[in-house]
Amino acid sequence: TMEINVLTNEIAYENTYFLTNDTSTIVIDPGNETDAILNTIRELRNPVVAILLTHAHYDHIMGVEEVRKATGAPVYVSPLEADWLYTPALNLSGLPHHDDDLPDVVVNAAEHTFSVGETYHIGGFEFTVRATPGHSQGGVSFVFEKERLVFTGDALFSGTIGRTDLNTGDMVTLKESIRTQLFTLPDGFRVFPGHGTQTRIGVEKQYNPFFHN
């Protein structure tokens, strides 16, 4: 059985997820509250076997280096955003409007880049990576078929969708991603987004205002 813990970080209210099974832990999108993240990892006790990134915007990667240092776990990211990790202008921490409130976020290169459509077996976990670009070009979602749930990053939220006004964002692409990659999952699948509360595929198909003309 898989247990899911979530920690909502102070910066951008970004959700960091911790998945735990009998032997291992996976961390998804470690945000800025590294002390709290490391405490959660310690409490869960099982070794961290992977750090998975839905995309490489700064609010989703600020804790990567600390978690990697503390756990030795490898980092996985889309090949389309691999260089965003160490390029502040691309992960958006280096934009002028953040000069005062945010240090440049620079993360060392990821150990692995995702192969889209591939099913991964890591530490007793099994998930498939789907490309869900539109919020950013390398956005991916992680589908856990057995557990009937999906981590959607900043593609799909409860009642809304990711913003598309940032670098490589595109509204048409994002809606197409959600339609073809997420709304094709069974209605009962639980959705764990990068911000905000969890929802279900069926609820979003029926009520998400971006899909009702």
168-202 residue pLDDT tens: 999 999 999 999 999 999 999 999 999 999 999 99
112-156 residue pLDDT tens: 999 999 999 999 999 999 999 999 999 999 999 999 999 999 999
Query: How many C-beta atoms lie closer than 10 Å to residue 35's C-beta?
Result: 9
**pTM of the predicted model, to two decimals?**
0.98
pLDDT above 90: percentage of residues in the chain: 94
Q: Strand 156-157 relative to strand 160-161: parallel, antiparallel, unpaired?
A: antiparallel
Question: What pLDDT band is residue 213 in, cutting at 50, 70 and 90?
Answer: low
Whole-number pLDDT of residue 100: 83
Q: How far are the Cα atoms of 49, 78, 108, 195 from residue 10, in angstroms, in the given order?
A: 25, 25, 23, 11
79: closest CA among 16, 26, 131, 125?
131
Name the strand (E) or helix (H) holding 190: strand 190-193
For residues 121 and 145, give the distance between their C-alpha atoms in angstroms, rounded to a whole number.
12
Whole-number pLDDT of residue 101: 82
DSSP-derived secondary structure letter, 54:
S
Judge contact between 195 and 153, C-beta under 8 A.
no
- What's the rounded mean pLDDT across residues 26-54? 98
More confident residue, 76 or 95: 76
